[in-house]
Structure 1
Amino acid sequence: MGSIRDSDRAAKLHAATPVFSLLLAATLWGVFWFPLRWLEQYGLTGLWQTFFIYTGTLWVVIIILWRQGMNFFQELGMAPWPLLFMALTSGVCNTTFILAMLEGEVMRVLLLFYLSPLWATLIGWLFLKEELHALSIGVLIVAIGGAVVMLWHPGMGYPWPAGKGDWLALVAGINFAILNSLVRFTDRVSIPVKTSVAWFGAILVSGGLILFTGIGLPEVSFQVAGYAWMIGALMMVIMTFSVVYGVTHMPVHRSAVILLFELVAGAVSSQWLTQEVILPKEWIGGTLIVIAAWLSARRQLQNPDKDLIV
């Protein structure tokens, strides 16, 4: 009897671990804005934050490279152009997401970013030749409705981004949708290699923008730069692999719903720690966007895909 109970406990723990892993990732992503704004208060601007944070992930890339050896480069050679495009797309996505969190309101940025199912559906239809089923059309209609409500500008009489934060959040969401389409396209390449490519892309894009814009390193202490590096080395790595573990050990349509907890974490933390107010139209538009994300998760039940890069 004792061994049966022990095996039952082990089975329950095994089943619960992916759920806890995804909840941890969603919570950390939902409060990710806080260390970003904290670093900004100490003078470290958005592009430099992105550069230092993703440089902090390189210790994992080095371990992956050391363990895989020449196989790492052989996998890169399987799809060099798609992987290069993946690096650039990931770089734009992560850089604009961090800049949006610094420029805009937390919940508004998160909700506009979560319009990615809309872009994913359109990309799948236009470029991947995926059929538009009834559920896909439902995702489009509900997501577009949420976007219209969120972005409605009374003075103009039509939906339009309210400021730089909105634009950055939309760009981040579009690139996130493209990124995950590329993840599906490069299915022969392993998750560790694609994750390394995605992280390196953030370093490449943020570093390139720093050089292009001529933004010098702010006068911050070595300690502040070290904090940014540690956020990447610990928090970013934990968030990424928590998602990868959870998605790998759970049907994607379920994991996608659990990851919506990011919005709850973002709402609670922003209401508690900032003076930002969520307007009624943002509640309504946000609800529609969440419903679209849920419908998108249900759609994934018809076309499961275990790869996810964050």
Structure 2
Amino acid sequence: MATAIVAFTGALWGVYWLPVRSLGEMGLPGAWGTVAITTAAALLLFPLAIRRRGQFARSDRTALASIALGGAAFALYSIAFMYGRVAIIILLYFLTPVWSTLIGRYVMGWQTSRLRVLAILVGLAGLSIMLSADAQLPLPRGAGEWMALFAGFLWSVGTTGMRAKSDLDPGPAAFVFAIGAAVTALTLAPFLEPLRSGPYGGGFAAPLGLAIATGGVWWGLSTASLMWAAVRLEPARVGILLMTEVVVGAVSAAVLAAEQLAPLELVGGALVLCAGVLEVWPVRRGAPHQPS
């Protein structure tokens, strides 16, 4: 069940860029659309958090920080869609198996199999090829690509902490997740682009409705489901299952936004996906031993 939920969540997030960019076109540029979405999600989840407020007092502080950090990662990822190509943003974010393995090995002290070492090398090779496709240094270009890369790292840190410490129910966890995202987006928004002061072309009803719907479906329902599943799976396994988002995102961007990848970018992206496959392979065989 946890595996199926994470895979479906990835597919759903593969079209998340559509409402984000739509809000930008409606007058919420830069991070302001993400502010609206995450604030709506937090408000929708607030009644559930109040009913189970006792869990917050009993919960490990590291777990709460890890969940909020995961929300911050998703906020950066959401904002990145406003500043880069969809497929590249998704692929940069989905280097999470590389970061998860490194964190698990050197921070948590978990054993690392040879296949996981190979996954790191393949993932980093894919990153280098993808970012040097136009004969430039293999570094992220533009704010969107840097945010996506950093978001993937933060998500790996967050999921590692969630798995090790979290005992929150999915609803309260999703609330903390949304709060972490909303604070991050609101902090960044004024530095990226100013908020429009004039009236919106179609009034406030359309962006408000879209923000509430997006916050409810993506940040509320799907995130609560993901919180439930993430603590039952290895961080690296979560990363590979969420890669359904890569396929859905790349196809939807090509069809709906005419965003095409260059041949070398496709090669690099394929290597990133291969790294994810190598990452999860020993998990299925039960090779690594990790503390419970």
Aligned to 2:165: 186
Identify which of 25, 28, 39 aligns with 1:41: 25
Amino acid at match of 2:9: A
**Offset of residue 117 of structure 1:** 1.0
For residue 275 of structure 1, give the secondary structure of its aligned residue in structure 2: coil
1:229 offset after TM fit, Å? 2.5
Contact 1:109 1:165 in 2 (8 A): yes
- Which of 10, 14, 20 does residue 30 from structure 1 map onto? 14
C-alpha distance 52-304 of structure 1, shift in aligned 2 (>3 A): farther
Pick aligned residue for 2:273 from 261, 268, 290: 290
* Residues 169 and 228, structure 2, Cα contact 8 Å, conserved in 1: no
In structure 2, distance between residues paired with 1:62 and 1:304 = 38
Normalization by structure 2: what TM-score? 0.84
Aligned Cα root-mean-square deviation (Å): 3.0
Q: Report the equivalent of 1:222.
A: 204
Contact 2:76 2:147 in 1 (8 A): yes
Question: C-alpha separation between the residues in 1 aligned to 2:29 and 2:215?
Answer: 15
Segments of structure 2 that go 5 or more residues without pairing to the other structure are none
Give the counterpart letter for 2:108 in structure 1: L
Partner deviation per Cα, 1:257-291 (whole Å, 9 max, x = no partner): 54322122112211111121111111111111111
- Equivalent residue in structure 2 for 1:161, among 140, 155, 159: 140
Flag the structure with larger Rg: 1
Q: Matches of residues 295-310 of structure 1 in structure 2 within 5 Å?
A: 295-301=278-284, 302=286
- 1:94 equivalent to 2:74? Answer yes
Q: How many percent of aligned residue pairs carry the same amino acid?
A: 26
Checking the alignment, whether the CA contact within 8 Å between 2:29 and 2:195 is kept in structure 1 is no
| Residues 49-92 of structure 1: CA deviation (Å, up to 9, x unaligned) | 111111122245323324324x223234x32x5523542x2343
Match of 1:238 among 221, 229, 236: 221
> Normalising by the residue count of structure 1, what TM-score does the alignment of the two structures yield?
0.79
- 1:1-310 to 2 correspondence within 5 Å? 19=4, 21-69=5-53, 71-76=54-59, 78-79=60-61, 81=62, 83-84=64-65, 86-87=67-68, 89-152=69-132, 155-156=135-136, 158-210=137-189, 215-216=194-195, 218-219=197-198, 220=200, 221-223=203-205, 224-244=207-227, 257-301=240-284, 302=286
1:61 is paired with a residue whose SS is: helix
User: Structure 1 residues 251, 185: CA separation in 2 closer, same or farther (over 3 Å shift)?
Assistant: closer
Aligned to 1:4: none
Q: Which amino acid aligns with 1:160?
A: L
Which stretch of the first structure deviates more once superposed, 242-251 or 56-65? 242-251
Contact 1:46-1:98 within 8 A present in 2 as well:
no
Given the superposition, is the C-alpha separation of residues 304 and 233 from structure 1 closer, same or farther in structure 2, using an over 3 Å criterion? Answer: farther
Check 1:216–1:250 CA distance in 2 against 1; reply closer, same or farther (3 A cut).
Answer: closer
Deviations along 1:187-208, one digit per CA (max 9) or x if unpaired, are: 3444443332221101111223
Equivalent residue letter for 1:84:
A
- The answer (yes or no) to whether the contact 2:166–2:231 under 8 Å persists in 1 is no
Whole-Å Cα distance in 1 between the matches of residues 174 and 215 of structure 2?
14
* Structure 1 residue 216 displacement after superposition: 3.8
Q: CA offsets per residue over residues 130-185 of structure 1, 9 Å max, x none?
A: 233212201111111111111126554x4111322211110111111111112123
AA matched with 1:102: M
**Alpha carbons 2:36, 2:211 under 8 Å: kept:** yes
In structure 2, distance between residues paired with 1:228 and 1:46:
14
Whether the aligned pair in 2 keeps the contact of 1:97 and 1:168 (CA below 8 Å) is: yes
Alignment length, in residue pairs?
284
In the alignment, is the contact (CA less than 8 A) between 1:55 and 1:203 conserved in 2? Answer: yes
* Structure 1 spans left out of the alignment, 5+ residues: 1-14, 306-310
Cα distance in 2, alignment partners of residues 218 and 98 from structure 1 = 23
Higher mean C-alpha displacement, 23-32 vs 236-245? 236-245
Contact in 2 for aligned 1:96/1:169 (Cα 8 Å)? yes
Instruction: State the distance in 2 between where 1:205 and 1:255 align.
Output: 23
The change in CA–CA distance for 1:54 and 1:256 in structure 2 (over 3 A counts) is same
